[in-house]
Amino acid sequence: MDKQIYDRIMERVAKLPAVDGGCWLYMGGCTKKGYGAIWLNGKQEYAHRVMARLHGMTIDGRTVDHLCYNRNCVRPSHLLTCSRKENTRREMSDAWRTALAELLAEMNREMEGGN
């Protein structure tokens, strides 16, 4: 993991309590669609994709899905790589969203303060 980049992201993160979803909200730059954005090597990148890569997720050619549905969340346990098709399917499924929100809330209560 590139500690300097990680630290740069985390300096701009507001951690929500588990009761509020436990998201790590990136409070730095933001795109028009609400995704956290960071400049690296003269190029703007999505903060959640950078965080996923820093935590060993293979992101090339993949979508990094926010399991919590917060576009500016960078908490690694709230991110999942998937195909574009799967990402779209998840967005369309209210049952998936409800079940996942409940699971994340439970996980966050157990992991409060963890990764």
Task: List, for residues 36-95, the tens digit of each pLDDT value.
Answer: 999 999 999 999 999 999 999 998 999 999 988 899 999 999 999 999 888 888 777 767
Number of Cβ within 10 Å of residue 66's Cβ equals 21
Residues with Cβ < 8 Å from 35, sequence gap 6 or more?
46, 47, 48, 71, 72
pTM score > 0.75 for this model?
yes
Q: Are 104 and 66 in contact (CB under 8 A)?
A: no
CATH code reported for the domain at 3-110: 3.90.75
pLDDT classification of 101: cutoffs 50, 70, 90: confident
